[in-house]
Amino acid sequence: MRFVLRSKIHRATVTQANINYIGSITIDEDLIEKAGFWLGEKVLIVSNTSGARLETYLIDGKRNSGIICMNGASSLLIKKDEEIIIMGFELTDKPIKSTNILVDKNNKFVRYL
């Protein structure tokens, strides 16, 4: 069994950072669906801006809002306006085809990668 990449949102821009939320990352519901994520799923987030890496879980934000909000302690590591990659993995014994999406600076879907 291996952990392999299953879903990815590439080059998203953090629109908000909310230290007062309990935890997680809020993502536009449309992007969650396009990338094939599940609500509550554990994700790895990597900042192309600062190099920070962290794991958290996702919650849904308003559809077509472009929201990418770092919540709780994660907002201390990855801040508003940073460019990030959001990745979900699957434990499997067979190769799988991942769903990878590219978004623009406003976190609007551009294309599948």
64-73, pLDDT tens digit by residue? Answer: 999 999 999 9
Quick one: which of 5, 4, 31 has its CA closest to 110? 31
Tell me the catalytic residues: 24, 57
24-60: per-residue pLDDT in tens? 999 999 999 999 999 999 999 999 999 999 999 999 9
Whole-prediction pTM: 0.96
Look over the chain and give the mean of its residue pLDDT values, rounded to a whole number: 97
Residue 22, pLDDT > 90, answer: no
Residue with tokens 């609500």: 39
H/E stretch holding 85: strand 83-92
Cα–Cα distance measured from residue 58 to residue 23, given in angstroms and rounded to the nearest whole number: 9
Alpha-carbon separation of residue 28 from 3, 35, 96, 106 (angstroms): 25, 11, 25, 11
Ordered structural domains, the chain, with CATH: 2-104 (2.40.40.20)
Residue 77, pLDDT > 90, answer: yes
Residue 23 binned pLDDT confidence (cut-offs 50, 70, 90): confident
The bridge status of strand 53-61 relative to strand 25-28 is parallel
